[in-house]
Structures are given as structure tokens and as C-alpha cells.
Structure 1
Amino acid sequence: MGKITPSAASAFRSRTAVLLTALTLLLSVNACGVIAENESREQSSAAITSPTATPIPTPAPTPTPGKGPACPGLRCTSITVTGDMLVHTQLWQQARADAAAAGQPGYTFVPLLEGQRRYISNSDLGICHQETPVAVPDGPFSAYPSFNVPPQIITAAKDVGYQACTTASNHTIDRGTEGLLRTLDTLDAAGLKHTGSYRTEAASKEILMLKTEAATVAVIIGTYGHNGQIPEYPWLVDELDPAVMIAKAAQARAAGADIVLGVMHAGDEYASEPNAQQQEVAHALVDSGQFTMIYGHHTHSVLPIENYKGTWIVYGLGNGVTELSPWYVVNNEGLLVRAQFSENAAGVWTASDLAWAPSVIVRDPYRWCSVASDAPQGVCASPAADAETRLRTQSVVESMGAAAAGAHELLITKEK
């Protein structure tokens, strides 16, 4: 190897210095680029997480307290139900006289039902029970045992505030399929929703869903029989079959029902307690977990109210309207029930209040009259008779522990 001269060494050192300077500059530029990129990311992250940024607001639920008693939660709805609309000869004679007194042709049952208006108007939903088929407006009409009554009873029900009626009963097919269809046509013309009897098999599979401001309410009914008659088609009228009713309730829940009412048309006429069928069916419906409340009619007498596993069962509402019976005093009495339902934090609706008002039918003129202790219509029959009716009704209503469970008399005059 040759020797490195001083001049060559000097040149080598000079080239090395230049290379080191260039490498230092290159590293410096790269480092600045990385730093700049990191700073940009940090600034971007800071912009996203800055406490001064405006978050997207979550809309607050709208309070919907509903009508009736004070709502214990954010959302409530109340439902009023009454017993059999049972129109006999004396009632349509009264309706004709009331129409004539008002200078109207035909028949009007509005004065007969007028006392119910105040109760229905202080609830979010009113449901009646159309016990019998209706005739054409001018008749001919007939009463027991095969009813065909003036259709003006339906328009009167609408007038005083009902929004829907159930139609399954032991008299639904008194006038065959034709009478059943005529009744449905009359309900539709009056603007009343209905369930229990149907025009088609497809319609029989649908669920009546009623809307209030706060909730969706499903109504499912069944009748114990048809007085020995056989419907032309098996789907014409809803039967009292717990399995079918429970399946319909599940269908209603899947379709968005918040509250499901189970309705029974069953029991022993003029009784003061439910029979085995009523109790077995009602308890089966409650045990399914699909129903929010159960109520019934048919016996033409007031029956007890029971709180079974936290669910109210109103076994019998008595008569909504009827002519006076000279043999059965209980036939002339009825029960109006208003249930308030509220939604809890989990979104489950349960009854938060159950109130009842005793009623009686009076004559000359025929009228439905509340005998509740606040006497909203004044004296009905006489002070003594009204007190006797109220006491008799209360003793039956509370005979299965309803008062201890929280059911109470409805004093409509004390509400706003």
C-alpha cells in the first residue's frame, strides 16, 4: 500500500466534512417533518376533544300525563270501561219520546247516556260494549230473547265520548250474519272502532289497536257462547279461548302495544261472584304476562274486583244501560271503571290507579245515573235508595280485597 501524502489527507478530511454537513442537514429536515406531522395530529386531536366543542343534544322525552288523576311518572294514559248496552223495549220507547221532546224525528239515546259523558271526557279512552245487533233506523225492533235494536244507541255512544266498542257476546248473532254485518256497518258509520265480530276471516286475525297521546292500547275479547246458536263461520265472533287470546296478545305486543286489555263476556247471570270459568280464564291471561288488565261483562250484575299478581281483574261491570227489572235489583245496577296506566323507567306500563263509580238505571224518564258518593247528577232514585245501591255495589266490588289493593271510588266532581 502506498503512503498517504499530507495533501491527500487534507483533501479526504475536507470531503468528509462536507458529507457530514450534508447528512446533518438531511436528518434535521426529516426530523422537522416528523415533528410538524406530530404537531398537526396533536392539534387536530385537541380540536376534537376540546371542552369548548358543542355536543349533539339528546332530546328529552315529552311529558304526557294524560287525563284523570295526577300522573306518578312521565307518561300516563287512562281508560274508562262500562258494561252491557242492553236495549229493551222501554228504552227505545224512551228514546222516541226524547227525540220528540227535542223536535227530532226517530230516536235519540243521548239523554239516557248523558250522565256518562263527564266520566268519559276525563279519561283518554272510553270503551263500551255493544251487547246486541242493531236494526235499520226505523225497525222493526225486537228485544229478548232475540235482539234487534235501534241503531241510534251506537250514535249516542259516540256522542257521549266513546271511541270504541266490543261486540262479542251471547247475542252477537241473534240476527244471523246479516245482523252482525249491519252492526259493524253502523259502528263504522258512527266513527267507533270495534272488535269481537268480523266481516272476513282476515279481519278476525287483526288486533284492535287504539292510540292515545301516550300509549298504544290493544283490546282482545272472547265470549263464552251464543245461546245455543252456531255462527255461520267459525271466525265471525271471538270465543273465550285463553290460548287464542294469549296468542293475540303476543301478536299485539310484537306490533307495538304498550297496554293490552283482556275482555271476557262470561259468568252466571245475576250472580255476585265470578264463576270458575271466569276465574280460570282471567288468571290464565294474567299468568301469560301479556295482559295489563282484565275486565268483563255479561252477568247483568256487578261482580268483584281482584288484584291478582299485581294485575287488576274487574270480573263484571253489570249493565251499562237496561230497562228496570221487577225481579232482579242487581240487573238495574252497573259499574263504571277508570284505570290509569303509567310507564316506568324500564318502559313497562302498569296500572297506577283503579277507580270505580256505581250506577243505577232510573225511570220516568229512563236515565243512567251515577250513585257515587259525590252525586255528580244529583239524586238518582232517592237519597235512601241511592245509598243502598252504593253500599251494595261497594260490598260486592271489595269482596275479593280490591280496597286493600288500592281500588277506590271515583269521585268525578273532585277532579279538575
Structure 2
Amino acid sequence: MAGMELEGFKGDEFTFSSLLSSCKYKGSGELGKQLHGLLIKQSFDLDILVASSLIDVYAKNDNLYDARKVFDEMPTRNSVSWTTMIVGYGQQEYGKEAVKLFRRMFGKDYCLDELTFASVLSSCGFTSGASELMQVHSCLIKLGFEAFLSINNGLIYAYSKCGIVAAALQCFRLIAEPDLVTWTSIICGLAFCGLEKDAVKLFDKMLSYGIRPDKIAFLGVLSACSHGGFVSMGLHYFNLMTNQYQLVPDPEHLTCLIDLLGRAGSLDQAFDLLKSMRKEAGPDALTAFIRACRTHGNLKLAKRAMEFISEPDEPVNYSLVSNMYASEGRWSDVARMHKLINDRCEQKTPGLSWVEIAGYNHLFKSGDRSHPQSSDLYAMLGLLLNTMKEDYKSTAF
């Protein structure tokens, strides 16, 4: 761009759009801001094409505030600019905002396309927004988009994420010729919702139709085997993936396999796998193994696995081993684990759980007391725990 200006050439909207497209990768946010300043100087920020590209740059670099600011300041918008902002919210898992913007777009009679609906459906899945999802579903049926395969695949994904398995299965059954994405969506959805046997059956049915599974499909069935405790099946599918289909396992596949073996108590076999593929396995596999060691009370193997840790590491590994030390009353080792957490681990934003009640999402994190009804919630939790303990005592003898 600087060379063009030195030669006396000025860029147009296509020049700036091309420049912005090169800033859509992570870590290019600062360069995008510099281009934004240049755009304002030359008044190209008012162009729909350029502004839409700028929204995409900010969204892909996790800067939704500036992306929305550019969107709101656009004098005119088209379906591309609306969809780009909706997609940006969806990619950053701001599903509620994506659906709100979709409602506004729908109310202004813009031409909604396949990409818009697919993006909104993905956003509904991120937020587990069942009520929003049903509204979007009604809208796309009204506009005749239910015939699109990509839309149906998005519906299967979204309904599964919301835990509405019956609706996901109904969408699947309505597809005359499901493709690999369709099969994978329903297999992963069933595994996610705890219907592991059904997920495995559908995977086998997919193979019987001659559809070649990819890594994501295998990840879905391995996840189902892991959560269902189907050890022999999980090993069979892993061997099928690597030997028959010649697919190189990703860290996620190895994590599923180690988790599967660990849950079944085959800790020595899981440790051998972790040791032989420590570079390929990744940190999640290590966490799965240490968690299995804690479940089965094997501190010796957990300590050996800790030797595989590379810095910076996840605090959960040290916390799991710390809890194992605490159960044995080894408080000096507990203190040592806490020190290692401070020395070696990056502080991260805690994960959240949520439940939707009457269209409103209630968010929680571990040890959270910020909810306005937290005292009532903890009282109910205590009541449930006491009831469970009494039931256990009554059936234990």
C-alpha cells in the first residue's frame, strides 16, 4: 500500500477490501486498526464492502466492541454486512446477541440466505438457547429454507447442543440423503446428550451405507465409547481409524482413548499409551489420565504422569494430584502442588455452566455465590446431598 502511494496511485474500495482480507487472521488486529485509521482519512469507511470487511477483521481478532461500532456507524447496510456481524457474534459464542441482530435483520426485510441461517443456528448451539432456536426454526420453515442440507445439519447440531434430542433426530430423519456432515452431527449430538449406544449404532449404520468417515466422525464415536464405557468398541474403532482408513489420530482422539481406558480402570494400558505418544497426545490427554488416577486412587501413576508436564500447564493437573495427597493427609505435598500452580500455570477465566429457565440463562462457576438466589440454591443442593446420602445408607446393607 505504501509503495502504491509513493507511485502516485490511490487505492479504491477493492484495494482496501483486499488489504483487510489479509488481516482476518489471529494476531492481525493491530494492523487492522491502522488500516481503519487510513480508511477514515480517505472516507472509505463509509463504503459497504470495506466496512463489512472491517467488521470481519475485528470479529476474527476477538474485538467485537469495535466490530459492532463499525456496524452501527454504517450509513447503509446490506445482507452481507448484517450476516458478517451475526457470524462474528456466533464465532465468539455470543449467541444471544447474534439472535437479537438476526431478529432486527428479519424485521427489516433483508434477503436472508443460507449462510445467515447457518450462522444463527450455530450461535443458538453455543448458548443452549432453546427458545431462540425454535424461533429461528419457525422462521426458516416459513421462508422455505428447511430443504437446504446445510440448514438441517445446523438444526441437528443446535438441537443436540440444547439437549433436545428428539428434535435433532426428527431433523435427521427428514433428510432423504444425509451426507457425512449430517451423520457426524447426529452421532456427535447423541454422544453429547448421553445416548452413547444410539451414537455407536448410527456410526455402524453410516458405515453400512458406504460413507467414508473422517476424523470428526471417529472423534464422535470414540467420545461415545469413552462416556459409555465401551472399551472393546473404542479400541475397535481406534484401530479401524488408524489401520483401515489410514487416518493419523489427533490429540483429541488420543484423549478419548486414554479417557476410555482410564474410566475402565486399565490405568497401566492408558499410561503406556500416554508414554508412547506423549508428544502427539497433548495436555488434555494428560489431564484425562490424571483424573482417572484420582478416580481409582492410583497416586503412583499420577506422579509418574506429572513428569510429562510441560510449562505453562493447566492448573487442573496439580489440583487433581493435590486432592489425592490431601486424601492421604500429606499436607506438605498439598502445599507444594499449590506453589507449583502459582509458579507454572497461567491464570485463566474459569469455565461457566448455565441453565435456561423461562428464556433466561442463569450462569454459574465453581464456588459461585454471585447469583441473587445463591442461598436458596445452596440450601436445595444441601438437601439433595443429604437425601442421596440417606438413600445410599438404606441400600448399602
Normalized against structure 2, the TM-score is what?
A: 0.28
Query: Is the strand fraction higher in 1 or 2?
Result: 1
Comparing both structures, which one devotes a greater share of its residues to helix?
A: 2
Q: Which has the larger radius of gyration?
A: 1
Give me the TM-score of the superposition, normalised by structure 1.
0.27
- Tell which has more relative contact order, 1 or 2 (C-alpha 8 A, sep 6+): 1
